Amino acid sequence: MCGIVGYCGKKPLGISVVLDGLQALEYRGYDSAGLCYAQDGSLVLDKQVGRVQALRDSLGSPAPDSATAIGHTRWATHGTPTQTNAHPHFNAGKTIMVVHNGIIENHAEIREKLSGLGYSFVSETDTEVIPHLLDYYRKKSQNFTEAFEKVLKQLRGAYGLLALTTEEPNTLFAARLGSPLVLGVMDDGAYIVASDPAALLAHTKKVVYLNDHEFVVAEQGEDYEIRDLLRDTSVDRAIEKLDFDANEISKGDYEHFMIKEIYEAPQTIRMATLGRIRPKEGIVKLGGLDSVADQLKYIDRIVIVACGTSYYAGLVGEYLIEEIAGIPVEVALASEFKYRHEPFSRSTALLAISQSGETADTIAALKKVENFGVLRLGVVNAVGSTIARMTDAGVYCHAGPEQAVASTKAFIAQVSILTQIALYLSQGTELYKPLLDELDALPKKVETVLESADAIREIAKKYVNNRDFLFIGRRYGYPSALEGALKLKEISYIHAEGYAAGEMKHGPLAMIDESFPTFAIATASELLEKTYSNIEEIRARKGPVVAVATEGNEHITSLADDVMYVPATLEQTSPLLVAIVMQLFSYYVAVEKKLDVDKPRNLAKSVTVE
Ligand code: AGP
């Protein structure tokens, strides 16, 4: 889960373009960074442990000029975050340099073969086999492109990689298998290759997405060539135009991307429903599903696959689709789904949910069923991403780029879309119109929740020193509890568990004492009385309780130590309001603990390896 960027052009912008690009990709990994650039016939290298800023400082200001450079920001998989293990990696003569995102699964085998041929290795990484293998095959090839192709055919696993050679200092060699890679085409004949369009957006909106088993040779001032390794053919692919701007990937006046993205929630719901819900006509239009509308009529089971926050959005979708559309739904963790042997009938649809569209486990789940003849649908935020292109049909979230590692607005967009999918698949239910109208009214209610941010911060401050936290909820409150616990875990490092409130007596209650607070989701629902009983069970063990409740609920103040209110809404839309409270609560706890909210330790935004 690293980020890679490369530039070649007439103008000596290589280093600044690569450094700015790496900074934009830091959400993908940030334990070390490095780059190399062509200068006077050689490749100059600089690698630093820590953030891209450390690399920028090391290069000094003004940074050296170069018309060709490649760089990398790392999330260690093989070998600890050290200067030696940082990328780029190189051959003995330092005439070939490589940056890589992904995992070379057969690296040990290749390393052994090359060691036997006298090659020596300096790092613990899987990636280092690539420059040595390029060195080996260059001696057996007409040119570097031929050697590059031969090497790619040796590699197993996942890669988005970039190579530079002193032999062709104005050319980028890039390849993709299972890790995202996009080529940016500039009007002055320059090229930028990156793991994500965010890294090149400041320079061009004209992009070409690479598919698996493809590589591109891009020489500045010449036409680029994409080749398909499997078919051994040239690939002619249209240039696409990016539909978002650089300011969408800047913090603006906010202290962190996370709080900016939380405050985007009202707009996120508006964008997720724009042109799709028509409350007056009482219809939901999902153009992205129209192409498979006939097949959808015969669907009698939906399996949702996803990871992390997207999985919890899927759990809310399960309740919605079953209740509104009457179609049985199963939600599977993508990393487990890949290795299960469950029967599939053609009347089952697989629905993949992903913010980044690049999560390896979710991609693997889609690959698993590609020959099952089942419909593969997607709810994806990143336009043009792998999952978006793998699925037969789907619905984009239109939430704009999400930069903070902790997913917030994407969850809001995903649940808004799943609500629309439930309505779209519904054959009519008494809940249809009220739910459609409520979805339309929700952005205003979310704004009301955001207005209570200060009160939420004051409550959050009281729980900064707690080491454990339990989140409980019933029905739609259950997946909300799971998501709330994940948010607190991943940015505050407090151990937090989400649990179905009804499960308390079957074990978790044993953990409860005055030092173990519980976050109870107690918004209006036909099960509220039962949730009250669960809260009283906790109170009986002196457990502190923080509750989210519906405005006007006075009774809860006698049960909970702290209460955060949301406006009245349907139970089916309550996860969208409750999520804002939990996101703000977690955010303020992490800020109070002075943690790096946007880049929590040990995590990365897009998990592109299994
Ligand atoms: C959530 O805050 C995390 N960043 C993580 O759990 C994330 O939801 C998960 O990795 C799935 O990512 P995706 O939606 O991009 O597939």
pLDDT tens-digit map of 498-541: 999 999 999 999 999 999 999 999 999 999 999 999 999 999 99
Distance 601 CA to ligand 1 centre (A): 15
pLDDT in tens, 332-346: 999 999 999 988 888
Most ligand 1 atoms within 8 A of CB, residue of 258, 310, 354 to mutate = 310
pLDDT in tens, 365-402: 999 999 889 999 999 998 888 899 999 999 999 998 89
**pLDDT at residue 242, as a whole number:** 83
| Integer Cα distance of 80 and 573 in angstroms | 44
Angle at 75 between CA 69 and CA 79, to 5 degrees: 100
DSSP 8-class letter at 178:
B
DSSP 8-class letter at 587:
H
pLDDT in tens, 269-278: 999 999 999 9
Distance 239 CA to ligand 1 centre (A): 28
pLDDT in tens, 447-506: 999 999 999 999 999 999 999 999 999 999 999 999 999 999 999 999 999 999 999 999
Decide if 378 contacts 414 (C-beta within 8 A).
no
Q: Is-catalytic flag, 605?
A: yes
Token pair of 383 as six digits: 């336009």
Q: Which amino acid is at 254?
A: Y
| Residue 204 backbone dihedrals phi, psi, to 5 degrees | -160, 155
pLDDT in tens, 568-581: 999 999 999 999 99
Q: Is-catalytic flag, 2?
A: yes
Within 10 Å of residue 143's Cβ, how many Cβ atoms?
11
**pLDDT at residue 383, as a whole number:** 83
593 or 241: which leads in pLDDT: 593
Most ligand 1 atoms within 8 A of CB, residue of 379, 411, 487, 607 to mutate = 607
DSSP 8-class letter at 13:
B
Residue 385: strand, helix, or coil: coil
Q: Is the shortest distance between the CB of 308 and ligand 1 below 6 Å?
A: yes
Judge whether residue 327 has pLDDT over 70.
yes
Q: Which amino acid is at 123?
A: S
Q: Is the shortest distance between the CB of 407 and ligand 1 below 6 Å?
A: yes
Residues 540, 543, 549, 554, Cα dihedral to 10°? 50
In this prediction the pTM is: 0.82
**pLDDT at residue 608, as a whole number:** 79
Which atom of ligand 1 is nearest to 487's Cα?
2
**pLDDT at residue 248, as a whole number:** 63
Indicate which residue's Cα is closest to atom 5 of ligand 1: 308
**pLDDT at residue 261, as a whole number:** 96
Which atom of ligand 1 is nearest to 607's Cα?
10
Peptide bond into 434 cis (omega under 30): no
Q: Is the shortest distance between the CB of 483 and ligand 1 below 6 Å?
A: no
Distance 355 CA to ligand 1 centre (A): 7
Beta strand pairing status for 96-104 and 157-165? antiparallel
Which atom of ligand 1 is nearest to 406's Cα?
2
Indicate which residue's Cα is closest to atom 10 of ligand 1: 308
Q: Is the shortest distance between the CB of 391 and ligand 1 below 6 Å?
A: no
Q: What is the mean pLDDT of the chain?
A: 94
Distance 233 CA to ligand 1 centre (A): 35
208 or 238: which leads in pLDDT: 208
pLDDT in tens, 123-176: 999 999 999 999 999 999 999 999 999 999 999 988 999 999 999 999 999 999
Beta strand pairing status for 468-473 and 495-500? parallel
pLDDT above 70 covers a percentage of the chain that reads 99
| Residue 186 backbone dihedrals phi, psi, to 5 degrees | -100, 155
CA 258 to chain centre: 14
Query: Which residue of the set 2, 8, 307, 397 is catalytic?
Result: 2
Rg (CA), the chain: 25
| Integer Cα distance of 365 and 353 in angstroms | 11
**pLDDT at residue 246, as a whole number:** 63
DSSP 8-class letter at 197:
G
Most ligand 1 atoms within 8 A of CB, residue of 331, 355, 411 to mutate = 355
| Integer Cα distance of 303 and 325 in angstroms | 14
Decide if 3 contacts 195 (C-beta within 8 A).
yes
Q: Is the shortest distance between the CB of 509 and ligand 1 below 6 Å?
A: no
Judge whether residue 609 has pLDDT over 80.
no
Confidence label for 350 from pLDDT (cuts 50, 70 and 90): very high
| Integer Cα distance of 238 and 534 in angstroms | 58
pLDDT in tens, 17-74: 999 999 989 888 888 999 999 999 999 999 999 989 999 999 987 877 899 999 999 9
Confidence label for 247 from pLDDT (cuts 50, 70 and 90): low
Confidence label for 252 from pLDDT (cuts 50, 70 and 90): confident
| Integer Cα distance of 116 and 108 in angstroms | 12
Q: How far lies 233's CA from each of 204, 226, 236, 390, in Å? A: 27, 9, 10, 21
| Integer Cα distance of 43 and 94 in angstroms | 7
| Integer Cα distance of 117 and 129 in angstroms | 13
**pLDDT at residue 238, as a whole number:** 86
Q: Which amino acid is at 130?
A: I
**Among the ranges given (50-59, 318-327, 406-415), the one the predictor scored with the smallest mean pLDDT:** 50-59
Distance 368 CA to ligand 1 centre (A): 20
Judge whether residue 249 has pLDDT over 80.
no
Token pair of 523 as six digits: 């918004």
| Mean pLDDT, range 273-295, rounded to an integer | 93
Distance 61 CA to ligand 1 centre (A): 36
Distance 384 CA to ligand 1 centre (A): 18
Decide if 353 contacts 379 (C-beta within 8 A).
yes
**pLDDT at residue 75, as a whole number:** 83
